[in-house]
Structures are given as structure tokens and as C-alpha cells.
């Protein structure tokens, strides 16, 4: 890991979907300092929009704190695919989501403003803290995380 890398775990929630949006993120600096972000937006939107707004707010917060090297994690495959412009399992272009195009363009511009930046997909169970922050912004309790099967746990350890 880079000595100057910041890490972001972000998540968004819309209740109902579409509905009120909550955003959550855990931003960790290279020295291990953690910053939590938990905000309710005044806008109505879908889950994908909430996820995107969570990432954007977290990137802005990290930039304001002096970050130049970012690795962001999201459990939303649509967000990761859209920002990567290609599907992970093929070389086919991802069809843009027209309604969110401006927000995705803003996120790409923000990502490009860092010296190094990446957005990677992670399984939902590894993003529980950011999810809880997004849900808390809307006054909702954290989701119960299903137990991981033993075989899946073994595969996770091998990575």
C-alpha cells in the first residue's frame, strides 16, 4: 500500500427506492485517522444516485483534507462499472445511465483530479459500516448481515 493512500468505503441508501437518500462513508487517512460521513440529502432519488452521491461527497471530503492518492470501495456494481467505463468480465462498453450522466461525469472529473484514484467493487458484507452510516442518516437501523458460509470464508482468506 502506498504510504500516502487514503481509503474510502462508501454507501448510499434510498428509502423507499426511489425516495429520500442517505449517504455514508468511512474515510481513512494514510496515518490511520478515520472520518465518518453520514448525511441525509434533501433530494429524492434512487439507490444508484445515493451511492454516487456518497462517493462524490467522500471524495470531496478527502480532497479537502489533502488527499492525492485514493482507493474507494463500493458494493454497488453499477457505480463501479459506470466509473470504470467497462465491465469487469468483458471488454464491452457499459451503457450509460442517462438520468445520472451529469453526476457520473462530475464523479469522473473529481476522480481525475487526484494523482492516483481507483474505485473497486467489494461484497456488501465488507461495507457494513458505510451502509450503517447511510441508513442512520435516514433514521433507519443497520441491516442485519447474513452469516457467511464456511466455504466462502475459506475463499476470502485465500485472497
Q: Which phi-psi region, left, alpha or beta, contains residue 99 (left: φ > 0; alpha: ψ -120 to 50)?
A: alpha
> Between the CA of residue 67 and those of 23, 31, 156, what are the distances in Å?
20, 12, 29
Which residue is listed with cell 433530494?
43
Q: Which domain holds residue 30?
A: 5-158
pLDDT of residue 144: 75
pLDDT of residue 148: 61
pLDDT of residue 87: 40
- Beta sheet of 69-74, edge-to-edge order: 34-45, 19-28, 5-15, 69-74, 116-121
For position 41, which CATH number holds?
A: 3.30.420.10
CA–CA separation, 51 and 29 (whole Å): 21
CA–CA separation, 36 and 55 (whole Å): 13
pLDDT of residue 86: 44
pLDDT of residue 12: 97
- The number of folded domains in the chain is 1
CA–CA separation, 84 and 80 (whole Å): 6
Residue-wise pLDDT tens digits, 91-133: 556 778 899 999 999 999 999 999 999 999 999 999 999 999 9
Say which residue, 78 or 151, is predicted with more confidence: 78
pLDDT of residue 96: 80
pLDDT at 51 over 70: yes
Residue-wise pLDDT tens digits, 141-159: 988 766 665 555 555 555 5
Say which residue, 44 or 85, is predicted with more confidence: 44
> Between the CA of residue 85 and those of 52, 77, 91, what are the distances in Å?
15, 12, 10
> CA 6, 84, 68 angle in degrees (round to 5)?
25
- Please give the average per-residue pLDDT across 42-50, as a whole number: 95
pLDDT of residue 84: 83
State phi, psi for 4 to the nearest 5 degrees.
-110, 10
pLDDT of residue 93: 65
Amino acid at each position: 500500500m502506498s504510504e500516502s493512500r487514503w481509503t474510502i468505503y462508501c454507501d448510499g441508501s434510498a428509502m423507499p427506492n426511489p425516495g429520500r437518500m442517505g449517504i455514508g462513508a468511512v474515510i481513512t487517512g494514510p496515518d490511520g485517522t478515520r472520518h465518518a460521513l453520514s448525511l441525509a440529502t434533501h433530494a429524492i432519488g434512487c439507490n444508484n444516485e445515493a451511492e454516487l452521491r456518497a462517493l462524490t461527497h467522500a471524495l470531496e471530503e478527502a480532497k479537502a483534507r489533502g488527499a492525492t492518492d485514493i482507493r474507494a470501495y463500493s458494493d454497488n456494481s453499477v457505480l463501479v462499472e459506470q466509473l470504470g467505463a467497462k465491465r469487469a468480465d468483458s471488454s464491452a462498453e457499459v451503457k450509460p445511465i442517462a438520468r445520472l450522466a451529469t453526476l457520473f461525469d462530475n464523479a469522473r472529473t473529481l476522480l481525475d483530479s487526484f494523482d492516483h484514484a481507483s474505485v473497486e467493487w467489494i461484497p456488501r458484507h465488507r461495507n457494513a459500516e458505510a451502509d450503517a452510516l447511510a441508513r442512520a442518516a435516514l433514521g433507519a437501523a443497520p441491516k442485519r448481515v447474513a452469516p457467511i458460509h464456511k466455504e466462502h470464508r475459506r475463499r476470502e482468506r485465500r485472497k
